[in-house]
Structure 1
Amino acid sequence: MNIDTYESNTGLRIVATLIDYILIFCFTIVYIYQFGEPSEDGGFKVSGLKGLVPFLFWFLYLPICEWKFCSTLGHWTVGLKIISENGEELTIGQTIKRRLSDIIDINWCFGLVAFVVVKSTDKKQRIGDIIAKTLVVKK
């Protein structure tokens, strides 16, 4: 892939991320209200093994879908896919590395870090893509 012609697809990436995290957020909220117990402050809480379910959903939805399908529902909806820099098939390790850095890239400062890094790098990668050696491209 010629880096000079590589597009950041910033707008599409933002929409894809919003779709993915809204889906995860909605699942988590519904799960907590359906299977949680009332808390002292009037809300609901899950504890013990029940508390692992939202994480398992996150893991199945993001790293596993990206590994198996090179896409999440958000990426698929806007016509993007994740590929390995070296052209080989994505590995589960790459997708896990990519998503563990969401804590810095996306969740901290509402995605500002990812936006700045994508705009600043030659290959238009966020921190997770740099660490995992992946690229986000149009299908």
Structure 2
Amino acid sequence: NLIDTVFVTGSGDNLKFGGQFKTYAMSNGIELTLKYFPLYDNTTYNRQLHPVTLKPLESYRMTFLDLGRRDGEANIVKVVRKDREFVNWCTAGSVTPAGYAHSNTEVRSNAKDGYSVHFLGEVGLMLRDPRACGELIMSCE
């Protein structure tokens, strides 16, 4: 039931509905929320342009993700390889994060006057039920 007519223009069978709505609440408790994803508009990665607007063709892509729950569990979950979510170590030269070497018996792995710090993570996302997700992808020649 729309009371405010600011968003409705035209008359008869030539009506236009407009406005910047970000969330649509449906009668069965489901909500559809729009989010901006700037990577789709990035011309560095998306070089194919729309022939009329000259914006990246990916700017017209819509990705739908179901962030709801199924049987008490989230539909999209983070998965991690055991003991590999966040691993870090250093490759020591003459220096370590703790400081300089003080004797010839301290083992180092390279001769540079410094050290390197490394990070590793084996993490992913799992979609439990993909049937409520999808994409609309524009095809243009």
TM-score, normalization by structure 2: 0.22
Higher-RCO chain (CA-CA 8 Å, sequence separation at least 6): 1
Q: TM-score, normalised by structure 1?
A: 0.23
Q: Which has the higher strand share?
A: 2
Is the radius of gyration larger for structure 1 or structure 2? 2
